[in-house]
Structure 1
Amino acid sequence: MSQFRNSPAIQKILRALGNGESLSGAQIRSRTGSDVNKDQRAKLTDAGFVGVDSAGRGFIYTLTADGLSFVRDELGGPLEAPEADSSRLSGKERIALFALLSPSLEVAGADIKRLFGVTISKPVRTSLSDRGLVVVFERPIRFELTEKGWQVVEEELAKPGEPDDPPLLRMFHHQYSRALSALRSRGLGLVELYAEGLVDEPAVDDVPKTVGARVIESYEDLTSEPGGWVSLVKLRDHLADVERDELDEVLSALFRDGRIRLISEVNQRMLTDTDREAALAFGGDHKHLYQVG
């Protein structure tokens, strides 16, 4: 244990991995309270205790046989995994609630599918209805958030996301957390903003939309024909108020979720410097065009 005697942070990392499961950096952070930095990663691999694999922008960590023995014999065994919050909504339930945020009294299931590529399944509908968070109308499927539903959305936005949240849920949480923060700076919350009698029915343009929803809607404005490809130059100009890094993150999430398509320009000689600057780096390639549908 001598090489890590003065490094309680590394000891915690090793114990977090002590059950033999592979964990992402986010999962380790949720168990230890801190990230695995580059220096720690190097020390763990040099000691032969941890195997590291790339996973997108992050890493997956797994104890080697020597590492497992070290944790058992020298560190007193693995950390206890934190108990899941059984009262918290599931990822699918949170996605459904965030997708239902709208000034409209009712939101059609077909519109949710069109805008976000999400189908709210019957088990999710039943769970949210039983909790008193939504009212579900049949034929066609429509939803209405209850007052309690709006309150629960705000409560969820006040909590950190889970390490295994899918990209769409992370995007929703990020965008609506920012919107809620802006509203609260004016003394408002989501419930108050949409409460009956507080304000007149807001115009669509006044309703905060996620960047993901704006990317989807922008396609119809920018494409010259159904099924056509739109250059990322046009999209970035159209969403000039969105920071470059934020738009890149949203495009990547939409692409991973299969809700947009991204391709490289086949004829690279046609690319201008502006095209190259607007490209999205993804998977070792540069994407220049996107399509919805």
Structure 2
Amino acid sequence: MGTQLTVRDQASLFALMVVARPVTNRELRDVAGLEITAEVRNRANQDVALITSKKRRTVNTHQLTPEGRAWCETALVAGRPDGAKFPVGVLYAVLDSVGQHLAHSETKFGDFFRPDLESWIRASYTELTVRRPPGSWVKLSALRPWLEDVSTEVVDAELDRLIELPDVQLIPETNRKTLTEDDREAAVEIGGEERHLLKISAA
């Protein structure tokens, strides 16, 4: 690339690589201690778009483009940049070790860096309830759009698994007259019962 990416730019790309899904700055701060600023996004997208952003309610989500993933995949085996010192040198040493492991084990980049669906659901729930009391109920019709590119069947199976956890509840909407067509389509059937509302209790 012609544009010189800063250490922060590169770290931002690697953070998105690890999460491997759309993520808000709020979650990125929790996961990696950084956020995707306008300056980072502009530099990363100057020659070719490496980061894509999408508006979700009042926040943006960020993720790597295919070109961004390719940049990260190349960086994994590129070795330490000339003159790179601590802490960048250490970062690239770790990345090189990961890249060599993937190459030797013939593991595909996308199979190693892939999203954790439980974390994705929990993070989406947090964003939907950030300005509401802890433990608020969230409609599945509001949750599903955050889980883009994940099939309904896969999300349903994960929700079915999650309700076995003590902090997760899924219940039907008792007032069926309030259900919209989106609510009905988003419902998950568990135990022969359609469920529309999700609650994740605070830790």
Range into which the TM-score falls when normalised by the shorter chain: 0.3 to 0.5
Q: TM-score, normalised by structure 1?
A: 0.33
Is the radius of gyration larger for structure 1 or structure 2? 1
Larger RCO, structure (CA 8 Å, separation 6 or more): 2
Q: TM-score, normalised by structure 2?
A: 0.46
